[in-house]
Amino acid sequence: MSISAAKVGQRLCSAGATVLAEGQATTRVYVLLAGWAFRFKSLEDGRRQILNFLLPGDLLGLQGELLARLPHGVEALTPVNLCAFGSDAVPSFFRDHPGIALDVTWLAAHEERLVDDAVLTVGRRTAMERVAALLVHLFKRAASVGLVERDSIPFPLTQLHIADALGLSVVHTNRVLQRLRKGGFIRLEDQRLAIGDLGAMRRVGQYWEQPAPLRPLL
Amino acid sequence: MSISAAKVGQRLCSAGATVLAEGQATTRVYVLLAGWAFRFKSLEDGRRQILNFLLPGDLLGLQGELLARLPHGVEALTPVNLCAFGSDAVPSFFRDHPGIALDVTWLAAHEERLVDDAVLTVGRRTAMERVAALLVHLFKRAASVGLVERDSIPFPLTQLHIADALGLSVVHTNRVLQRLRKGGFIRLEDQRLAIGDLGAMRRVGQYWEQPAPLRPLL
DNA sequence: CGGGCATTTGAGCAAGATCAAAATGGGTGG
DNA sequence: CCACCCATTTTGATCTTGCTCAAATGCCCG
């Protein structure tokens, strides 16, 4: 029995669309099949913080399912294809398919690891370190789902997204990116990102995370 | 069948002790029975970020169990009493006790919600807002496990802990706390914290989180 | 009494924010 | 095909929040 047997439908969202609204009451669980998205929270006055980015294979909406109300929003960065499950999917996994339930929990633990990392980045890294660490992180993640092509990955984020993920202003983000470009650390153009020397970038970002072990689902 | 049936022992740690080491390879899962602790990550040069605080009823070590290597450390703030489980506890819950497995996942989702919040705080709130939000948060959490006594809760954190949780320097943390004290917002002395007007503090902290719904386990 | 940690205070500094405006660069409707 | 619009990126100038450095004070405990 694979997880896809419980699939009840698909959902498509276009780039920039709200996939799940912040604070939404009833939610379904989805698996991201294709495209990029991100989770975020905002303050009343509009300040926004991106929590983490979602790539194919990631689970969405689990918090809404378990916690009754979704405490964050989800927005698509590119056109996105979601695999939707029935409203009783989660409980039924736990009841009848312990292997899948464990996979779901694994995905939750994995995502928490990403967010733990985001706290460290935003709380203790300098602006330069933050940008470098994020770019390395995204590069590796994209690589792990097979998105590398001729040394570069698709990069659908704007500088605003980077700023909102790192707790920086757009202006400062822009200046840091320029330093990285002029230093020859990255090539970022045409919605694609290439990193010349991963080791060097890791060093500027103080970023030594090991890639996650094998991922379940899909 | 209650979760405590799977208990194989207890563990006591004294204040300041390392409960789980950062990067530790093999880990057990624990439930915190009494005392305060916190999860943290650090950078090579010693900069440390506290991810969240742990109170009685919280689960520890799940990430180590699922992800092979524990990506963060856990340290005791007060003397701490842990309920330990066997090494096969998690898989056996999923196999034989779906209700408990769901509770475990609920706890994971709940903790992620806390960390999501920490990212927002550290990334987008001002120093004053951060401190206020953290104090309100801790007050409510402590209250939810019945720690309020004569309007105040035990408060075992030093200013360094607050600083490390909020991505601030100790010096600045100190000045912010003084402003809150002189403004009559908080009373913080003798390891106890009282908040005069929760609504006012929420306002200065831009903090509107709703308390979590009912928690399982214990 | 002395050592070590935590808190407090002062002074100067700097990383990054803010404000403002110009340059780019598609994307679209006429 | 062109003109216009709007989002994004870039640049310059100035300001401020919060950091660093340094030292004093207070306090608990052996």
Residues B69-93 have pLDDT tens digits of 999 999 999 999 999 998 889 999 9
Distance from CA(B172) to C1'(D5), angstroms, rounded: 46
Distance between CA atoms of residues B192 and A104, nearest Å: 39
For residue A217, what pLDDT band results from cuts at 50, 70 and 90?
A: low
Give the Cα separation of B50 and B73 in Å (integer): 9
Protein contacts on strand D: list nucleotides below 7 Å from a Cβ.
Answer: 7-13, 17-22
Map out the domains of chain A as residue ranges. 3-98, 121-205
- Token pair belonging to A51: 């929590």
How far is B193 from A28, CA to CA, in rounded Å?
A: 40
Q: What's the pLDDT at A4?
A: 66
Nucleotide lying nearest to B169, CA to C1' measure: D19
With a cut of 60, say whether residue A1 has pLDDT above it.
no
Distance CA A103, CA A87 (A): 18
CATH topology for A121-205? Arc Repressor Mutant, subunit A (1.10.10)
Interval A138-175: pLDDT, tens: 999 999 999 999 999 999 999 999 999 999 999 999 99
Tell me what percent of the residues of chain A surpass a pLDDT of 70: 95
Looking at residue A215, what is its pLDDT? 65
Contacts of B99 in chain A (CB under 8 A): 94
CATH superfamily of A3-98: Jelly Rolls (2.60.120.10)
Give the residue ranges of DSSP H helices in B54-169. 62-67, 89-96, 98-124, 127-144, 159-166
Q: What is the pLDDT of residues A47-62, one digit of tens each?
A: 999 999 999 999 999 9
What pLDDT score does B68 carry?
A: 85
**Which stretches of B130-217 are assigned E, i.e. beta strand?**
152-154, 186-189, 192-195
- What is the reported pLDDT for B200? 97
- B157 CA: nearest nucleotide by C1': C6
User: What are the helix and strand counts (H, E) for chain B?
Assistant: 7, 11
* Residue B3 pLDDT exceeds 80: no
Q: How many CB atoms lie within 10 A of CB A177?
A: 17
Beta-bridge partner residues of B32: B82
Which uninterrupted H or E stretch holds A142?
A: helix A127-144
Query: Do the domains spanning B3-98 and B121-205 agree at the CATH topology level?
Result: no
A119/B120 touch (CB, cutoff 8 Å), yes or no: no
Mean pLDDT of the region B143-169: 96
Single-letter amino acid, residue B39: R
Residue B160 identity (one-letter amino acid): L
- Burial bucket for residue B19 (CB in 10 Å: 0-12, 13-18, 19+): buried
- Reported as a single tens digit per residue, the pLDDT across A16-29 is 999 999 999 878 99
State whether residue A26 is helix, strand or coil. coil
Under the banding of pLDDT at 50, 70 and 90, the label for residue A216 is low
Hey, which residues does A7 pair with through a beta bridge?
A85
Q: Is the pLDDT of residue B1 over 60?
A: no
Please state, for a pLDDT cut of 70, what percent of chain B lies above it: 94
**Mean pLDDT, to the nearest integer, of A173-199?**
96
Give the largest CA-CA distance in chain A: 55
**How much is the average pLDDT of A106-112?**
96
CB-based contact B18:B74 (threshold 8 Å): yes
Mean pLDDT computed over every residue of chain A: 93
